[in-house]
Amino acid sequence: MTSSMPNNFPRDVVAPPSDVELSTALGELGLNFSVDAHERAEHGRDWWPLAIPLTERGEVRAWPGAVVRARSSDDVATTLALARRLGRSVTVQGGRSSVVGGATPADGGLALDLTAMNHVLAIDDVTGTVRVEAGCRGPELEAVLSSHGLTVGHLPQSFDLATVGGWLACRGAGQYSNRYGKIEDIVRGLRVILADGSDVELGDHGPRYATGPDLVQLFVGSEGTLGVITEATLLARRRPAYEQRAAYAFDDFAQGLEACRRILQRDAHPAVLRLYDAVESRRSFDDERCVVIVLDEGEPLLVDATMAIVEAECHAASPLDAALVARWLAHRNDVGALAPLWQGGLVVDTIEVAGPWSTLAALSDAVLASLRALPEMLVASVHQSHAYLDGACLYFTFAGRPETNPEAFYRGAWDTASRVVLERGAALSHHHGVGRNRARFMREALGSAFPLLVALKHMLDPLNLLNPGVLGVGGEPW
């Protein structure tokens, strides 16, 4: 049993009989594995909301044949060799904090748990990099870096649960990404075990290079479909010693978006610049307007200049008590409310997308209108959480109370919102990834580039062993 899941399976959950051939082979190879029913059940799901009601009923959508706990890259290569021999799929798992089903194994496949590979391997204080195993969680990594006065600065909401490998696999974003970048901006090198067992080192020779395409980025965002990331080299910055906070209220969301655009396009990058619509502002800050909270940290001269630009561009807004930032900080990693809502009959989820500034306000209005038009929808809201020179991430939340078919309602909400996003040419996902939940949209999302992804999958994993169906390749999406 793991405490990281939103709810737990009953201890007496009944599993299909374990595969004797698989168990024998795993034992002969000296791998650390389990075919315990409860452990297989727990590793048969991640944080995908649709797994919550199934877990409550003691139902497992797809039973892994075994859970393998890799202790090294050699263990990973050995597991993949066995999978090739027996024709079993392999789903790589870290903290299983994916909310789109990306860490959910296929029926009868191997759940390859990397959380025992959690060591910080090397720190270069002069260059400012850290080499770390993929199963290391955020708090473990930051605790070691803190003793060197360093930080990676990657602080997702799932910080306590997610692993470095998961950050990379899904192209994750931390809540301070405006200052530190998304994970694809932070990574400098990878070690990857391919489906054929090849052990490949990528990048890690310098800050930039012109030796062909960036092969590191080929695996960042591949969600376990092209290879297994076992180690990574990440940037590590000096821990900030100075911070400023501010909060403002705009009369409408579009006005707030315009202010955020001007801030970023003046090259100010506050670590946190989050704009909430009236629904979310009322819920989180007891304000009927559209609240923006701002936090920056780092060198005092840079922080002061950044916050001066923020203040100038928020001239049309009403200043609020900066204590609102502390209110957000106190709850920003709280993921405990999801299961009780589902258990109370509500169907709740979030949909994060990204788009250019020129269409962002209209995109927000259109997605909200499409969600609110659905029968049995109770509320739909939005906030902007990660911003760039040319656009930003919009993060939608919806909740409904369907009386008959919660799964149909859930899929309908995702279908209608994703359809609007694709029709308007925006990005299907900003940082949660695709997993299984979005896989059915990938062909349209990538358009003429989708065959390239299919070709890469076929070249690197011709037997479709690795996470089949995720990203819409190598198998049918659920």
Average pLDDT over residues 164-184: 98
Domain shared by 136 and 233, yes or no? yes
Is the pLDDT at 478 greater than 80, yes or no? no
Give a yes or no: residue 13 inside a domain.
no
- pLDDT at position 337, please? 82
Q: Is 51 helix (H, G, I), strand (E, B) or coil?
A: helix
In the beta sheet, which residues pair with residue 163?
137
205 within some domain: yes
Query: What SS3 state is found at 186?
Result: helix
Please provide the average confidence, as pLDDT, over all residues in the chain. 96
476 and 447 in a single domain? The answer is yes
CATH number of domain containing 296: 3.30.70.3450
Does 431 lie in the same domain as 385?
yes
Instruction: Look at residue 460 and tell me if it is in a domain.
Output: yes
Which of 321, 320, 328, 296 lies closest to 309 in space, CA to CA? 296
In single-letter form, the type of residue at position 459 comes to M
Judging by beta carbons within 10 Å of its beta carbon (0-12, 13-18, 19+), is residue 186 exposed, middle or buried? buried
Whether the pLDDT of residue 3 is over 50: the answer is: no
Structural domain harbouring 312 = 243-331
Mean pLDDT across the stretch 302-308?
Answer: 98
In angstroms, rounded to a whole number, what is the distance separating the alpha carbons of residues 98 and 109? Answer: 18
Which of helix, strand or coil describes residue 221? coil
Q: Which of 210, 238, 266 is the last residue of a domain?
A: 238
- Structural domains of the chain, count: 5
CA 9 to CA 17: how far, in whole Å?
Answer: 18
Confidence at residue 1, expressed as pLDDT on a 0 to 100 scale: 34
The pLDDT of residue 437 is above 80: yes
Q: Is residue 428 part of a domain?
A: yes
- The answer to the question of residue 14 being in a domain is no
Element (H, E) at 260: helix 253-265
pLDDT tops 60 at residue 19: yes
Distance of CA 224 to the CA centre of its chain: 13
Please determine, for residue 470, whether its predicted confidence score (pLDDT) is greater than 70.
Answer: yes
252 with 313, same domain: the answer is yes
The verdict on residue 122 lying in a domain is no
11 lies in a domain? Answer: no
With a CB cutoff of 8 Å and minimum separation 6, the contacts of 395 are 350, 351, 352, 382, 383, 384, 385, 430
**How confident is the model at residue 335, as a pLDDT?**
78
